Amino acid sequence: MRPQILFPLFAEVSTLKGVGPRVLPLVQKVAGPLVRDLLFLSPSGVIVRRPAEAASAIDGEVGVFTVTIDRLFTPSRPGAPLKVRASDPTGFVHLVWFGGSPQHIDRLLPRGETRLVAGKVERFNGEVQIVHPDIVTLEKAADIPASEPVYPATQGLSSRQLRKLVQGALPAAPDLPEWQDPAWLKKQNWLGWRAALDALHAPTAEMDLSPDAPARQRLAYDEFLAHQLALARRRRAREIRPAPVIVPGAASEHLLQALPFQLTNAQAQAVAEIRRDLASGQQTGRLLQGDVGSGKTAVAAVALADAASSGFQSALMAPTEILARQHYKKLGPMLDAAGVAAVLLTGRDTPAQRREKLAALASGHVQVAIGTHALFQDAVRFDRLALAVIDEQHRFGVNERQRLQAKGDPRLGAVHLLTMSATPIPRTLELTQYGELEVSRLMEKPPGRTPVTTAVLPLARIGEVAARLKTAVESGAQAYWICPLVEESEAIDLAAAVDRADDLRRLLGVEVGLAHGQMPGAEREAVMAAFADGRLPVLVATTVVEVGVDVPNASIMVIEHADRFGLAQLHQLRGRVGRGAKASSCILLYGGQDGALGETAKERLETLRRTEDGFEIAEEDFRLRGGGDPLGLKQSGFPAYRFADPIRHRSLMLAAADDARLIMNRDPDLTSERGRAVQVLEELFDWKNHKVGAS
């Protein structure tokens, strides 16, 4: 329930003085429906006024002049401005209006009288001029505000009107109990919430508008904290849900022995984290993040074997047929060696095969189901499903994951969830998107990987690239050749990919496959399978090869128009090579005919050349995209924050996430004094009623 202290903030803006039926929809559009929303509207600018004199006035500054009115020049022709010449002891100041009424101006500025005028100084033919002075008054200079916030105006609602409304609403904002940790607050040197709100609306210099201004930092932190608390609550709701106890056993031992390698330290640690979850008796929700080739499958395999050891069934779901098959091909024999029976369930099964597999799952004869979307269909029943593992989890909807999880037997408890992702994302994005999940990261790659040599070349050198490719292919190498596919120009891009395949066929004199998203699924997968089996030396593809495909013999990756891809995507694509013993290379071709490449674009590709660490690339990509791309931020999964900027306030978000965790661990029911204040914060931002994450 909303605490009473917040009522004034949650009143409709229509209750404010000055918000009549005409203005109401405009305020709602600019700020939102509530008084809170208006008060959370940050100024976008500030007018700073300084006392000024004609002789020394500075272009572009807002000056306050004390002038004597000299004469009015009425417009000489229609459309010409109306001018008033005024002067101070140091020179003339011309006041200019476009479309003003001479009578009105005459009354406002009678000849011979002294007035204060304020406005932005422009020099025109060496003379000081002010177009549309923002203040003309009889008052003393001291009575003119030295600074004034500027708000994002809209047609019909000026910044000045908004400022009046905000100023009118501010007194209604209550003092709220402090929800931030006192020591932290002191260390940051921040104001209390109420004072910060006042400061937000009273900037006195450009500096006060910066994301680094203390008031803005405080409010951003509050917003992050409220959001992270909402996520922490979800985590907690899951954690208190009883779930089957899964502990390692004989099958796990056998599986580890059957693995053709030793787990890396990173893998061993992830396994330990997952095992702790699975043994807790509470529902697991974990994301296993690891770059392409970091060995997530082996980690998942251990969890599958653990479940079987404990007498439960599990499911491993992958987004495509080819991936599911690959998992089955790799895991099947290992699980088999561990005495665990697995089936592959996809859309390609014949009705008879399917019937048989479904029966085996329903009866519990088979412990592991590996498959695609086919896994969560209604006809699929399990005997004792306890664990769902989702590979490339972002390719599934929340509903699809839930449908699979719903196949558990409620009497056993909730089905554990282990999701995997090979798309490294910045830590901040991870916190917002998957804040309700625990995260394990595989930071280290298995040994024996050959580093990929990356070259960045202009498209103009495509001839050389093709020549080198010919030599490589003749000695048995396989290559991917990626063409971009951008939605706006899909038809053209597709045609370009088809043409490129033709070119290469001619140039290389070998068979060249073509795979793109517009092809029927079966046809595309047939081409990919031919490439995977080594029957096709070269595969021209749009980005469909991004996801998890493993062709160890492929050692060359050419990416055309690399500058049109996101860094993360390029990294994913590059991860397709360097999987075997062969020395691998990745060639990034940039630019079109002119071959020009901007600074940021260069820096981006350079990052890729420098490092193969997906997490580093993700952070760098994020930084380079900068805060000036709100659309990009949204697309990348950040919620619409009011105060917080996930890039500029990165460290604040990380701190708030830790803070939220600490609060929930110490005082899960929020009954302490700080806990109660924290509840007010949660209500203030109201994240509970928003979609707070993608997971």
Considering the complex, state which of residue 277 and residue 391 has its C-beta at the smaller distance from ligand ADP.
Answer: 391
Position closest to Mg ion via CB: 548
# residues near ligand ADP by CB under 6 A: 18
| Single residue of 546, 550, 619, 621 touching ligand ADP by CB under 6 A | 550
- The answer to whether 664 and 226 have CB atoms below 8 angstroms apart is no
Dihedral-angle region of residue 176 (phi above 0 means left; psi in -120 to 50 means alpha; beta otherwise): beta
Residue 257 interacts with ligand ADP (CB under 6 A): yes or no: no
For the chain, helix (H) and strand (E) counts, in that order, are: 23, 21
Considering the complex, state which of residue 351 and residue 447 has its C-beta at the smaller distance from ligand ADP.
Answer: 447
| Single residue of 408, 548, 575, 646 touching Mg ion by CB under 5 A | 548
Dist. CA 360–CA 482, nearest whole Å:
41
Dist. CA 147–CA 462, nearest whole Å:
58
Separation of CA 387 from chain center: 28
On the 0-12 / 13-18 / 19+ scale of CB atoms within 10 A, 393 is buried
In the complex, the smallest distance separating the C-beta of residue 290 from ligand ADP, rounded to whole angstroms, is: 5
In the complex, the smallest distance separating the C-beta of residue 285 from Mg ion, rounded to whole angstroms, is: 20
User: What order do you get walking across the sheet with 342-345 strand by strand?
Assistant: 342-345, 368-371, 313-317, 385-390, 416-421, 285-290, 438-442
| Single residue of 248, 295, 371, 408 touching ligand ADP by CB under 6 A | 295
Dist. CA 209–CA 202, nearest whole Å:
10
With CB cut-offs between 5 and 8 Å by kind, which of ligand ADP, Mg ion, none does residue 130 bind?
none
Q: Which residue has the tokens 């597999």?
A: 357
In the complex, the smallest distance separating the C-beta of residue 572 from ligand ADP, rounded to whole angstroms, is: 10
In the complex, the smallest distance separating the C-beta of residue 261 from ligand ADP, rounded to whole angstroms, is: 3
> Could you give the 3-state DSSP secondary structure of residue 334?
helix
Dist. CA 232–CA 403, nearest whole Å:
23
Report 412-451 residues binding ligand ADP (CB under 6 A): 422, 446-448
Identify which range of 216-224, 437-445, 547-555, 580-588 contacts Mg ion by CB under 5 A.
547-555
Q: Which residue has the tokens 């095969």?
A: 353
In the complex, the smallest distance separating the C-beta of residue 518 from Mg ion, rounded to whole angstroms, is: 25
The two structure tokens encoding residue 560: 């055309």
Residue 290 interacts with ligand ADP (CB under 6 A): yes or no: yes
In the complex, the smallest distance separating the C-beta of residue 298 from ligand ADP, rounded to whole angstroms, is: 5
Identify which range of 100-108, 488-496, 543-551, 628-636 contacts Mg ion by CB under 5 A.
543-551
Considering the complex, state which of residue 133 and residue 295 has its C-beta at the smaller distance from ligand ADP.
Answer: 295
Identify which range of 259-267, 481-489, 639-647, 684-692 contacts ligand ADP by CB under 6 A.
259-267
In the complex, the smallest distance separating the C-beta of residue 442 from ligand ADP, rounded to whole angstroms, is: 7
Q: How many CB atoms lie within 10 A of CB 247?
A: 12
Residue 50's DSSP bridge partners are 63
Dist. CA 602–CA 615, nearest whole Å:
19
Strands (E), 495-613: 512-515, 538-541, 554-559, 584-590
Residue 290 interacts with Mg ion (CB under 5 A): yes or no: no
Q: Which residue has the tokens 């909402």?
A: 230
Residue 264 interacts with ligand ADP (CB under 6 A): yes or no: yes
Considering the complex, state which of residue 295 and residue 424 has its C-beta at the smaller distance from ligand ADP.
Answer: 295
With CB cut-offs between 5 and 8 Å by kind, which of Mg ion, ligand ADP, none does residue 290 bind?
ligand ADP
Residue 296 interacts with ligand ADP (CB under 6 A): yes or no: yes
In the complex, the smallest distance separating the C-beta of residue 370 from ligand ADP, rounded to whole angstroms, is: 14
Residue 135 interacts with ligand ADP (CB under 6 A): yes or no: no
Dist. CA 26–CA 157, nearest whole Å:
7
Provide the pairing of β-strand 62-73 with 114-124.
antiparallel
User: What order do you get walking across the sheet with 478-482 strand by strand?
Assistant: 452-458, 584-590, 554-559, 478-482, 538-541, 512-515
> Could you give the 3-state DSSP secondary structure of residue 642?
coil
Considering the complex, state which of residue 297 and residue 542 has its C-beta at the smaller distance from ligand ADP.
Answer: 297
| Single residue of 130, 199, 292, 644 touching ligand ADP by CB under 6 A | 292
Considering the complex, state which of residue 119 and residue 548 has its C-beta at the smaller distance from Mg ion.
Answer: 548
In the complex, the smallest distance separating the C-beta of residue 328 from Mg ion, rounded to whole angstroms, is: 13
> Could you give the 3-state DSSP secondary structure of residue 272?
helix
- The answer to whether 385 and 315 have CB atoms below 8 angstroms apart is yes
Residue 614 interacts with Mg ion (CB under 5 A): yes or no: no
Q: Which residue has the tokens 């791309």?
A: 629
| Single residue of 7, 98, 124, 261 touching ligand ADP by CB under 6 A | 261
Considering the complex, state which of residue 295 and residue 408 has its C-beta at the smaller distance from ligand ADP.
Answer: 295
In the complex, the smallest distance separating the C-beta of residue 447 from ligand ADP, rounded to whole angstroms, is: 6
On the 0-12 / 13-18 / 19+ scale of CB atoms within 10 A, 438 is middle
Identify which range of 80-88, 187-195, 286-294, 662-670 contacts ligand ADP by CB under 6 A.
286-294
Considering the complex, state which of residue 149 and residue 371 has its C-beta at the smaller distance from ligand ADP.
Answer: 371
In eight-state DSSP terms, residue 498 is H
Q: Which residue has the tokens 């200079």?
A: 141
With CB cut-offs between 5 and 8 Å by kind, which of Mg ion, ligand ADP, none does residue 126 bind?
none
CA 206, 207, 211 angle in degrees (round to 5)?
110
In the complex, the smallest distance separating the C-beta of residue 534 from Mg ion, rounded to whole angstroms, is: 20
Element holding 95 (H helix, E strand): strand 91-97
Residue 298 interacts with ligand ADP (CB under 6 A): yes or no: yes
In the complex, the smallest distance separating the C-beta of residue 445 from ligand ADP, rounded to whole angstroms, is: 8
In the complex, the smallest distance separating the C-beta of residue 428 from ligand ADP, rounded to whole angstroms, is: 23
Helix ranges (DSSP H) in 378-439: 398-405, 427-433
- The answer to whether 634 and 222 have CB atoms below 8 angstroms apart is no
The binding track of 446-475 with respect to ligand ADP, each residue x by CB under 6 A or -, is xxx---------------------------
Please, what is the end-to-end C-alpha distance for the chain in angstroms? 26
Identify which range of 238-246, 293-301, 311-319, 343-351 contacts ligand ADP by CB under 6 A.
293-301
Residue 478 interacts with ligand ADP (CB under 6 A): yes or no: no
Report 602-661 residues binding ligand ADP (CB under 6 A): none
Considering the complex, state which of residue 225 and residue 554 has its C-beta at the smaller distance from Mg ion.
Answer: 554
By C-alpha distance, which of 651, 650, 649, 657 is closest to 212? 649
In the complex, the smallest distance separating the C-beta of residue 607 from ligand ADP, rounded to whole angstroms, is: 21
Residue 263 interacts with ligand ADP (CB under 6 A): yes or no: yes
The two structure tokens encoding residue 132: 């549309």
Residue 297 interacts with ligand ADP (CB under 6 A): yes or no: yes
Residue 203 interacts with Mg ion (CB under 5 A): yes or no: no
Binding site for Mg ion (CB under 5 A): 548
Q: Which residues bind ligand ADP (CB under 6 A)?
A: 261-264, 267, 290, 292-298, 422, 446-448, 550
